[in-house]
Structure 1
């Protein structure tokens, strides 16, 4: 008999971790398919996913393919007056053009990713942030190349065969130009990518058969890319760090590609500024971060690494997260 002893407030057990990984591969994978691939009953998968999703332990949303938009995006490191970190972090998280916000260890730095046009960028950097009076300094780095984003990260609890069996089909057509119904469906899935066809049809006021056809067309065009947001500590990854790396220019592409394939890395970007590569990494503990530095970065020939440890993730992939700052 299957049991359900794992508490969402504590470390997830192995089956829950495998379910999270399944949602990372395809956030809209059907319960029966997940059960078949993992070799457990559909009833258990339904019950476990109901608890994980219903409690907010895991959130599945649509995310755009940002490979084109990422080039020219901004990475911000905002240093603020002590005691004002939450004010700045929440203000940035409230912006729809800021999908990622972190509070760094020490409580005086906020990191953020900004995807916006030049006008909104200039208003933010030269008007809104300085006007708060709480901002001491802002470092701005432009993204020059995206090697991997958060949507590519997998927590590593499935075999290669299981991940391949759950992977959605690759896009087969150019992205369609969404009409009003398409935009409504994308908006609904942007808040909850696990919504059923029946639920979407009811919310959109359209026949379920029409919704199915529309989603098939959007998927074929690559517009149904999902992201499963989960606190990495529940997966045994207690340390989240941003690594600002100095790599010899001739090896930049090689090192970026190698890090993008590493199971602990959930983002790699070539950047402007003092560092030319930025990687975000999950580690089980501080000793694990040390091992990553010595055993992974060292052999790659990284000349210098600045490590900024995340105290709290405020917003990930457009999803605002809860919880107090850990100082």
Structure 2
């Protein structure tokens, strides 16, 4: 079987997220729709908004769990804050806590095994594990190899600006003729070209260079991945220079369909059990608590 590469929309963030996470102060912690581009909705940068991926008015029906004795989760360890290693060598992160919460909700035993990223799907398909919880992107390529639970996270785009900016919003009108930093060749650049044609795009090779341009005042706004930006804004590197402005933007054409828990093709009983557990965790507020624990400056 052909091995999976890291989905392109996550690959460029791995090193940056690791550095940002380690300097954000979170590594030692006890570990909806998008607005239209012409009318983004303002959001306070000091408050993390918990996203919702489940209908709060629908009570999920509990599936038959009699045939489910345990769940062997597979994950990786180098995509903080979702998966990372503690100083004692134990794997931790949002995905790890979510997996454990699922097992508590289902009242079932579970194990969590680490694998190299490119070995996760092969390990699932050779029955070395039952489910992958490692921020695996839902797309046509991955759906051809595994089945997914419903999405439990998105990777939206967002604008950041200096905290003392005189700009009132990040609308296309407000940013007309304004310099906006973005990573060259990224989905964020494609989005700006489509919906912010009057902005002056200033492209950079890496997210770090784009962030520095905003911090140093070379540009008036930065548009990029909200997850990596949230850690930068919360960390020492940003030094309080900047904050989110408007958004988030979650158009799947540009920002993907989200991430889900992967199971072996045809394993409907486990997939239904995972969907039930995720919905119940959201209803009981557990998902929100985990989200705020790892995303104090939320990407949403």
> Normalization by structure 1: what TM-score?
0.26
Normalized per residue, the structure richer in helix is 1
> Normalization by structure 2: what TM-score?
0.28
Where relative contact order (Cα < 8 A, 6+ residues apart) is larger, the structure is 2
